[in-house]
Amino acid sequence: MSYTHRPVMLSEVLEYLDPSPGDVICDATCGGGGHSLEIARKIGESGVLIGIDLDPQALNAARQNLEGVSCRVILARGNYGDMAVILEEAGYPNPNGILFDFGVSSHQLDTAERGFTYRAEAPLDMRMDPDGPVTAADILNTASEGELERIIREYGEERWASRIAEFIVERRKTAPLQTSGDLVNLIYAAVPRGARRDGPHPARRTFQALRIAVNDELGSVERGILAAIDRVQPGGRIVAISYHSLEDRVVKEAFKRAERPCTCPPSLPVCVCGKKKVLDVLTKKPIGPTDEEVRSNPRSRSAKLRAARKVLGTLGGE
Ligand SMILES: C[S@@+](CC[C@H](N)C(=O)[O-])C[C@H]1O[C@@H](n2cnc3c(N)ncnc32)[C@H](O)[C@@H]1O
């Protein structure tokens, strides 16, 4: 199957990342290299592009996509949460720019057997890293009812979380859940008909929740953003595109703490904690795709882009 994924908010990414000839840029979610290809064109033959992804299929696609570019390309399979080590090993510990385009690629969604989609019958897998330790089926068939409810409520923002968790535990008493169809049918049974009439597909939130849990997405986002703030060169840029509010909140909070790290009580007339500003946030509010982009690429609909520029040394206020 050929790799298909249209890079989201490409012109906004280039505007805020601002890659220049000779720059070292880390694309922390390289996917098939859609954003990377345009970045590579901007940094030219003296530039270096480091592409990270957990998914070997994505990196194979990126390798082909980036074949003709003139810059040096280093592709690394790994978790962007481990970016500091990956950059160190690549020999470029402090890039000029770092891009995150979180979530799942169209290719992953469209490859039914990866189990990310509720629209096709497939094993309940959902691992971004095919060698990852836990699948969605593992969670569904072993987690306690309370834990399932928490995952579905917290990561899926699903108001029917407790009923869905109850139905999962009831169902697995007879047979384990194995396929996306098993879960979709169960959700149809758990969510009352009236609540299913409007809005997105009734399984969408639960599938999102499981994907986030399987891949510890919020933990990785937090580690990745903190590593990026620490590692990017002074003057360098960080750009992050999120697709749901939980991811976006992690980015927003991390940027805010780095812009205003002072922990002194407001009653103190002067700062005594010594923590200095590390970032300038360039987007006071997140930026969304244009109406035209949403029309031509509906998967861009929920994208929110935030960007920041490093102003000082590392976090911690030395
Ligand atoms: C939305 S896609 C990126 C698409 C890419 N920007 C492009 O234009 O082709 C997100 C990618 O991030 C990868 N990914 C998700 N979590 C990751 C993690 N913790 N570490 C590294 N890569 C991750 C996924 O495998 C997927 O390929």
Q: Buried b / exposed e across 59-88, counting CB within 10 Å, b at 16+?
A: bebbeebbeebebbbbbbbebbbbbbebbe
The closest alpha carbon to 131, from 77, 62, 212, belongs to 77
- pLDDT at residue 315 above 50? no
* Number of domains into which the chain is organized: 2
- pLDDT at residue 317 above 60? no
Residue 2 has a pLDDT of: 67
Q: Which atom of ligand 1 has the smallest separation from the CA of 33?
A: 9
Please state the rounded mean pLDDT for residues 246-260. Answer: 96
Residue 27 has a pLDDT of: 98
Query: Cβ(65) to ligand 1 under 6 A?
Result: no
Cα 191 to ligand 1 centroid, rounded to whole Å: 31
What sign does the CA torsion over 269, 273, 258, 42 have?
A: positive
| Boundary (domain end) residue, out of 198, 214, 230 | 214
- Verify that 85 and 74 share a domain, yes or no: yes
Residue from 80, 108, 128 whose mutation best tests the ligand 1 pocket (most atoms within 8 A of CB): 128
Query: Cβ(247) to ligand 1 under 6 A?
Result: no
Residue 141 in any domain: the answer is yes
pLDDT tier, 318 (very low <50, low <70, confident <90, very high otherwise):
very low
For residue 81, what is the domain's CATH number?
Answer: 3.40.50.150
Task: Give the sheet arrangement for strand 97-101, strand by strand.
Answer: 72-77, 48-53, 24-27, 97-101, 237-242, 304-310, 279-281
For residue 201, what is the domain's CATH number?
Answer: 1.10.150.170
- The protein residue with its alpha carbon nearest to ligand 1, atom 15, reads 103
The domain containing residue 261 runs over which residues? 10-107+217-310
pLDDT tier, 194 (very low <50, low <70, confident <90, very high otherwise):
confident
Query: Cβ(115) to ligand 1 under 6 A?
Result: no
Residue 118 in any domain: the answer is no
Q: Evaluate whether 14 touches 23 at the Cβ level (below 8 Å).
A: no
pLDDT tier, 110 (very low <50, low <70, confident <90, very high otherwise):
confident
pLDDT digits (tens, 9 = 90+) for 286-300: 999 999 999 999 989
Cα 55 to ligand 1 centroid, rounded to whole Å: 8
pLDDT digits (tens, 9 = 90+) for 223-245: 999 999 999 999 999 999 999 99
Query: Cβ(29) to ligand 1 under 6 A?
Result: yes
Query: Cβ(96) to ligand 1 under 6 A?
Result: no
The closest alpha carbon to 310, from 245, 250, 221, 227, belongs to 227
- pLDDT at residue 74 above 70? yes
- Verify that 94 and 154 share a domain, yes or no: no
pTM: predicted TM-score of the whole model, two decimal places: 0.92
Please state the rounded mean pLDDT for residues 129-147. Answer: 97
- Verify that 154 and 227 share a domain, yes or no: no
Cα–Cα distance, 181 to 1 (Å, whole number):
23
| Boundary (domain end) residue, out of 166, 191, 214 | 214
- Verify that 96 and 222 share a domain, yes or no: yes
Cα–Cα distance, 191 to 159 (Å, whole number):
9
Q: Which atom of ligand 1 has the smallest separation from the CA of 243?
A: 1
Query: Which helix (H) or strand (E) is 152 found in, with range?
Result: helix 145-156
